[in-house]
Structure 1
Amino acid sequence: MTNVRLGVMYDRDWDPAGLAGFARQAEETGLDDLWVVEDLGWNGGVSAAAIALGATTRLRVGIGIAPAPLRSPALLAMELATLERAFPGRLVAGIGHGASNWMAQVGVAPRSPLAMLEETITAVRALLRGEKVELDGREVRLDGVRLVHPPHKVPPIVAGVVQPRSLELAGRVADGTLLAEGHGPDDVRTARELARKGGAGDGFGVVAYAAGAVDDDPGRAAGALREFLAGQGSWLGKTADELFSVSGTAAQAAARVDELVAAGAETVVLRVFGPEPLRQMAALLAARAKAAPTG
């Protein structure tokens, strides 16, 4: 068995009113991470992260992802600094391009998505380091901005991206990358290769989202994922059969997690489908513990 941070997503379709209780239960289950979602019309990622952090004492909370065009880098840095100072060492911030059609809906579609993402991440990280930031970029302009209360330690910033040029950019400006559901071991290896091409060092990390369903009946688990994988495949330009998922019995799901980790993912976050998601995660944890070498 390989080591990994194992986490669960609080699905965007779930009522935010249940987030605090879910976060406490996830921590009690023994999970390492809880990741919240920011999608247009659904939930706010920073506010959701604050709820989850405030409800727990150990759990690491990830934001996946804050769309760069929608978030002023100054405001985003202020929000992240507040969370990191209040809950040190328990935050990971994902920043991405945002869905282009959604960004157009709210009038923030950038002329250059790549420049917007690079300048936003660069500015946010500099502000979190306590630096005075002067930036006159293609998309971002800051005139002598500095945080009064920067965090004592900068939280990891990961780029939630898909395309090769963006994955290379992640290696240049971020601490890691976040891969969307459906990406498998080959995609993890490719993401790491492109990040290295962009200049990433040994500390660069990969967080892999995965659609998951754990059931004693593998067919029932596969059925729980069928509709989502069809839609995700359309978005990624692949067939549902080409997408990677973590499903089947607990032992089968544990083996799938280890495939991602062997390819270079340090964190695997399941978007769980089917009933009782935390019961499914507990079964997965038990299967991984059972497979661990003894002695």
Structure 2
Amino acid sequence: MFDRAHRPTALPDFVRTLDAMRVDDLWLVEDIGWAGSVALTATALAVSSRLRIGMGICPVPLRNPVVHAMELAALAEMYPGRLVAGLGHGTAARLRRITRPARSRLEQLDATFTAVRGLLAGEHVTLTTDTIALTDACLEHVPPVPPPLYAGVVGPRSLALSGRIADGTILAEGTTPEILGRDLAHVRAGGAGRPHEIVVYLHLLVHPDPDHVAAVAAPIVSKFADLHRATPTPAMVASGTPKSAAQRIAALWEAGADTVVLRPVGDDHLGQVSQVLDALGR
């Protein structure tokens, strides 16, 4: 993951370094007040020669569905097969500062997926909700290969919705194998048996000093335990030696994750990733 705290000017070199490493994806974060995901994604796709680039996630209240579709269509046509478009509710507290809340966040996400998917497929879309009003909306440039749409969500109803409407689900940092098993049940309850990728974000903290690891990881664990409504546990961070961090990653794969996205903290982000790749035998 290219963390939101990084300056945008650091992205090209970050991408070039990852391009030469044994990773498959680069994921970018959009959060209100930080850099926009569309600009970051376009840059990453242009600089990289092979990486799949994940937008994770665009809060749907920030853009009209037609704007979402226009941006995604352009990127998908220029870089077919290398874009994953993540959409989600966004953080309610931050969104209240800049936009009027939807009557139902679930309905807003559902309607946005319906509209964006239809537009990317070349359909003329008419849709009216309390936050969306489209009349015969369409794209002039429909991408030959529409990008997959993933939902970044938490909570049973949102996870079930993702299983029904999305091509994949993005699970937040702090997901342990136990939380993953719980969330997978909700996703599958909403799904229809079609292919559905599970992407899990995971903080990475490779450091030899256990006391340092404990001090740095503590607020992360506390925050994401609250988000997941789960008991805090050190397993919420891939930490310690490269081998122990690799074991946390492998445990998520074994529990049903298809893709694990590492979010390094502390110093030398890419150095930490390289050490864990070695421990994983990649």
User: Which range, TM-score by smaller chain?
Assistant: over 0.9
Q: Percent same amino acid at aligned positions?
A: 43
Residue of structure 2 equivalent to 1:201: 193
Amino acid aligned to 2:266:
G
Instruction: Mark the runs of 5 or more structure 2 residues left unpaired by the alignment.
Output: none
Residue of structure 2 equivalent to 1:117: 109
When the two structures are superposed, what TM-score results if normalisation uses the length of structure 2? 0.94
Amino acid aligned to 2:119:
L
Note if contact 2:26-2:54 (Cα within 8 Å) is conserved in structure 1: yes
Mapping of 1:27-46 within 5 angstroms? 27-46=19-38
Mapping of 1:68-107 within 5 angstroms? 68-107=60-99
Instruction: Mark the runs of 5 or more structure 1 residues left unpaired by the alignment.
Output: 1-8, 291-295
Instruction: Give distance in 2, aligned partners of 1:239 and 1:186.
Output: 11
Instruction: Give distance in 1, aligned partners of 2:79 and 2:279.
Output: 31
Note if contact 1:218-1:247 (Cα within 8 Å) is conserved in structure 2: no
Mapping of 1:252-271 within 5 angstroms? 252-271=244-263
User: 1 or 2 for the larger relative contact order (CA 8 Å, sep ≥6)?
Assistant: 1
- 1:21 maps onto 2:13 in alignment: yes
Instruction: Give distance in 2, aligned partners of 1:202 and 1:134.
Output: 26
Moved more, 231-240 or 21-30: 231-240
Between the two proteins, the alignment pairs up a number of residues equal to 282
Structure 1 residues 187 and 23: alpha-carbon distance in aligned structure 2, compared to 1, 3 A threshold: same
Structure 1 residues 242 and 163: alpha-carbon distance in aligned structure 2, compared to 1, 3 A threshold: farther
Any idea what SS the aligned residue of 1:105 has?
Answer: coil
Amino acid aligned to 1:289:
G
Instruction: Give distance in 2, aligned partners of 1:33 and 1:219.
Output: 31
- Aligned CA RMSD, in angstroms, stands at 1.7
**Cα deviation digits, residues 50-100 of structure 1 (max 9, x gap):** 111111110111111101111111000110111111111111111111111
Any idea what SS the aligned residue of 2:116 has?
Answer: helix
Amino acid aligned to 1:67:
P
- 1:108 maps onto 2:106 in alignment: no
Structure 1 residues 202 and 192: alpha-carbon distance in aligned structure 2, compared to 1, 3 A threshold: farther
Residue of structure 2 equivalent to 1:4: none
Amino acid aligned to 2:127:
L
Instruction: Give distance in 2, aligned partners of 1:242 and 1:138.
Output: 42
Note if contact 2:3-2:29 (Cα within 8 Å) is conserved in structure 1: yes
Structure 1 residues 242 and 277: alpha-carbon distance in aligned structure 2, compared to 1, 3 A threshold: closer
Instruction: Give distance in 1, aligned partners of 2:147 and 2:175.
Output: 25
Instruction: Give distance in 1, aligned partners of 2:214 and 2:46.
Output: 35
